[in-house]
Amino acid sequence: MERIEEKLKILADAAKYDVSCSSSGSKRKNTGGIGNASASGICHTYTEDGRCVSLLKILLTNHCIYDCAFCVSRKSNDVKRAAFTVEEVVDLTMNFYRRNYIEGLFLSSGIFKNADFTMERLMRIVKKLRLEEKYNGYIHLKTIPGASEELIKEAGLYVDRMSINLEMPTEAGLKMVAPEKDHESVKKPLAFVQNQIQEYKAESKLIKHTPQFVPAGQSTQMVIGATPETDLEIMNVAKTFYNDYKLKRVYYSGYIPINTENSLLPQVGSRPPLVRENRLYQTDWLLRFYDFNLDEILNPKHQQLDLDIDPKLSWALRNPQYFPIDINTADYKQIIRIPGVGRQSAMKIIQSRKFGRLSEYQVKKMGIAFNRARHFMRCADTPIILGSSSMEYVKQTILQRNSNKYLKETSSAQLTLF
């Protein structure tokens, strides 16, 4: 294997646990060179795990001075180490980009020497791409916690997105596996970048040609299932970060056991909590796009999400008093609360009912999950049944009718982690 190929193998392998691969949200134009951003983002391929590949996601190096138990690049881990040169990263990015393999670069790094030294090296790559190669494609840069504000500010002028990972959802959880780290060192730079974004936005209203500053915003990631937080705790943290730092995304990454020495972490070989991860994303979506309040879905009485059914269905079963909802009269906000009806279907229903009352056969074809939705909605031709069936009965009917892809997994490996 060529040396560059081996480096790519090592440094892509070490970077893959960062789940973000989003390339959306930036409007950078091609100004007399190569490349631009696509507002909706483009996934150029998908790996066999079903994850999108839109960016060349690599570490500059996997040498690291820290020893975080959950991280594959921790100092004490016996893995091969490698480091790219600035030229190598630029060369790979440009050649992949010109062949339409990727939307851009996702650049992260282990910390070598200190934060500023690492950040400065990352900046060299970014600047070479933008200034020498005249590259206008997408760049996602990891903010290195502890790097100076001058460096972070300069980076923001060249990249599309910045992110820093919370790693563990709570400070207590983080201390268990990474005693050298704390949430404060994540919050500070997130807040700093957010302030800068707002300043540039305010300025651009007054001055015509203000440079773009992190146009695709910031994101963060939490590892799920490595430490014992409840779903309620996790979503509370997510909510706080969305509110306080106006994050574009919070990513939830089911922990994949990679450490044989730490007895606090799930053992190597145990399955990653993929269903739980999926339920957290569904909850995240309900909060951001479906106008749900967190305490409707998770609260002290109900601290964990159900694994066998989705959180909207779970909420509906606990709140039968809101149903059935008449899709011919209810407003948009009510219709999107029907389990199995998404935002697009709700819009179709609202538009179409202007032409006449809608019947079941029409709504079925609009792309809703009828098997779930039928128990919670009323169409023009829905027969009126006296007395309502119990919600427990509804749940059983739905689960039976669905050859539920989650049931197999939820009954076995999922719960044993806790």
Partner 1 sequence: MNYIFDGTYNGFLCCVFEYFEYKDSNVQLQVEGDDDAQTALFDSSKTIITDISKVKRVQAGLQKHLGKSIAMDFFRVFLSEDRKAWAASFSIICQIFLGKTNILGNYGNEEVLYFKQTLKKVSRERHRMKAFIRFSRSSDGMFFAVVEPDFNVLPLIATFFKNRYADQKWLIYDVKRKYGLLYVKENVMEVKLSPEEKHALTTDTVITLDEKDEHFQNLWKRYYQSTNIEARRNMKLHLQYVPKRYWKYLVEKQ
Give the binding site for partner 1 (CB under 8 A): 4-5, 8-9, 12-13, 15-17, 29-30, 32-36, 38, 42-53, 56-57, 92, 95-96, 98-101, 134, 254, 256, 271-272, 274, 348-349, 351-356, 358, 362, 365-366
> What is the rounded distance in angstroms from the CA atom of residue 222 to the CA atom of residue 335?
32
What's the min distance (Å) between Cβ of 303 and partner 1?
Answer: 26
Paired tokens of 176: 């268990």
What's the min distance (Å) between Cβ of 250 and partner 1?
Answer: 19
Nearer to partner 1, 129 or 232 (CB): 129
Nearer to partner 1, 134 or 318 (CB): 134
Nearer to partner 1, 273 or 339 (CB): 273
- Maximum distance among all alpha carbons in the chain? 74
Nearer to partner 1, 310 or 315 (CB): 310
Distances (CA, A) of 176 to 78, 173, 224, 229, 272: 21, 5, 14, 12, 19
What's the min distance (Å) between Cβ of 276 and partner 1?
Answer: 13
Paired tokens of 175: 């201390």
Nearer to partner 1, 72 or 391 (CB): 72
Is 55 in a helix, a strand, or coil? strand
DSSP assignment of 110-127:
---S-HHHHHHHHHHHHH
* Location of structure tokens 């964990």: 304
What's the min distance (Å) between Cβ of 212 and partner 1?
Answer: 17
Distance from the first to the final alpha carbon of the chain:
42
Nearer to partner 1, 89 or 298 (CB): 89
Nearer to partner 1, 113 or 365 (CB): 365
Nearer to partner 1, 32 or 387 (CB): 32
What's the min distance (Å) between Cβ of 388 and partner 1?
Answer: 27
What's the min distance (Å) between Cβ of 355 and partner 1?
Answer: 4
| Residue 139 φ/ψ, nearest 5 degrees | -130, 125
> What is the rounded distance in angstroms from the CA atom of residue 171 to the CA atom of residue 417?
21
Nearer to partner 1, 35 or 110 (CB): 35
* Location of structure tokens 């983002």: 41
> What is the rounded distance in angstroms from the CA atom of residue 64 to the CA atom of residue 372?
49
Distances (CA, A) of 120 to 127, 135, 149: 10, 19, 12
Q: Are 296 and 315 in contact (CB under 8 A)?
A: yes
DSSP assignment of 273-286:
-HHHHHHHHHHHHH
* Location of structure tokens 């994850």: 51
Q: Going by C-beta distance under 8 Å and a sequence separation of 6 or more, which residues neighbour residue 266?
A: 225, 226, 255, 257, 417
